[in-house]
Chains A and B, each alone.
Chain A
């Protein structure tokens, strides 16, 4: 674990991405303090203004301040995504550890249920659940947890099984450690890194899903600001004011890309050897922009 933090700190891309995400999350939390305007306050006379000192990102079709709406939108999108991710990971970890640690019939039952859940494409499952329960944020979250947990269980079970084969766990068992102790002190300590990679990468997917659903009008309902919904509104005024599409789209793009980079960085810091052979794909953009090989010091 010490090596992990050292490698992570020495990876400048990882550090800048973490810093960026930290800032974004902070801005989202502090939105009510920072936002210069009420995100839902309309001022129809001042509609479609370009960027100015008063309105950094301009105003939208109802004269609402786009910068404030982006801040508040991030609050909804990011915080809800993180919450969804935590719930899914929790379910995934509990069931995954149960299945992977105890094996036998427990494993069989859990995995067969997962197989059935995984035979639905998750997009369809989310749509189905939102369709039946109705639109809205809570329903989207429930839908996403239901659609994703099985996948996590399967992945975390695989991780747990790979650790169960290691000698130190066998030793702990032989030494007579209690099951709870082995899971808490031996298994989870090792597995937590891999789970963190899954969680980070999946947060990106969740953000995309939430904004896609809101874009379709199935998620967050107006007038609450949300990035996907802002894009939907921007789409309606595309012919007269194409500039409206920029801010929310860019926000989603940057945050999703940042989470993806972060997931890859954690992965690389955890297992520096694995990615060596393949030449980290994530540097493609970095290389294209800066034209040099990035150094990851061991």
Chain B
């Protein structure tokens, strides 16, 4: 196991270097000169003179590797440069937008866990019954609907028609409900399926038969089955977290949620390169670490792999 962990940790290093390199060269793939963009977004007509000046200011004339290393060095210290649009530090803007996104994802995660466990267990216990089929039908329809359509339909029903919840923003505590539910919808079916199928597989195992022979109550047996079925779902859940955070992009834009997804889309419209670059880098690093924890966690949980 130690060998595996060391290998896994070491492998993270080239991945992180690759990611930073990729995030950096993205800007160089741009069809337009970043200096020109930086000037244009401030509604100044670019001239040969001020473009040259801006290039120097942004350090664009330095050799490629020099630029990469200085950019990486700054990024490691939390300095992602200044936004082209308002000249504020990118790190500051992201630090402001990150908490709402994390909050939204967390609420969404809670909904996913609660609903999928409840529905998944119910479906598995009442396998193939009418309840099971209806539940799976509802879950199927609910999750085959594209997230953005579900979002505006829910918004129309609960905010415009029934006026129960606010349409957008995060002024009131209830404002998180609609975006969080919309975000959760797509994941619920995956987990209902996983939990249901794992539990049904486990139901046929010998330990369940043995439990029955011992005269354990059905409730206790279901608890045992449930515990043993969680492993795959936990792994999948861990891997879903960064996807969930990345998935907030669409949802945040529908519900005007002031998070990093909205920040990123605004940055794209404004061609605010440093902001996009920082967003990509942060999301990718988050993704790598989540995957790392999931991998290590699944080894630690599974006694068979722990000893190997």
Residues on A lying within 8 angstroms of B by beta carbon are: 112, 115-116, 119-121, 123-125, 127-135, 208, 211-212, 215-218, 228, 231, 234-235, 238-239, 242, 245, 249, 252-253, 256-257, 260, 278-279, 281, 284-285, 287-289, 291
Contact = CB atoms under 8 A, between A and B. Distances in A.
Nearest first, the 7 A-B pairs at minimum CB distance are A288-B137, A284-B136, A116-B18, A249-B149, A131-B268, A131-B276, A121-B246
Contacts of B276: 127-128, 131-132
B148 interface: yes
Contact of B146 (A125, A208, A239): A208
* Interface SS of B by simple majority: helix
Contact of B144 (A128, A212, A217, A256): A256
B280 A124 contact: yes
A242 B157 CA distance: 10
B76 to A, nearest CB: 18
B264 interface: yes
A216 B31 contact: no
Contact of A211 (B145, B146, B280): B146
Contacts of B104: none
A289 B141 CA distance: 11
Contacts of B250: 212, 215-216
Nearest to A123: B246
A291 B129 CA distance: 11
Interface string B16-60: 001100110011011110000000000000000000000000000
Contact of A124 (B32, B152, B160, B246): B246
B267 A212 contact: no
Interface residues of B, number: 58
Contacts of A121: 242-243, 246, 283-284, 287
B268 A218 contact: yes
A70 B130 CA distance: 37
Given A132-B26, A252-B146, A123 B273 contact: no
Contacts of A288: 133-134, 136-138, 140
A128 B147 contact: no
B284 A132 contact: no
A116 B17 CA distance: 9
A73 B22 CA distance: 34
B177 interface: no
A195 to B, nearest CB: 23
A245 B243 contact: no
A116 B249 contact: no
Contacts of B265: 127, 216, 218
B130 to A, nearest CB: 8
A133 B31 contact: yes
B199 interface: no
Contacts of B280: 120, 124-125, 127-128
A239 B167 CA distance: 11
B197 interface: yes
27 contacts: A112-B14, A116-B22, A119-B15, A119-B284, A119-B291, A121-B284, A124-B279, A130-B268, A132-B29, A132-B30, A132-B276, A212-B148, A217-B269, A235-B254, A238-B152, A238-B156, A245-B153, A249-B146, A249-B149, A253-B149, A278-B197, A284-B140, A285-B140, A287-B136, A288-B137, A288-B140, A289-B137
A234 B160 CA distance: 14
Contact of A119 (B31, B133, B146, B287): B287
B247 interface: yes
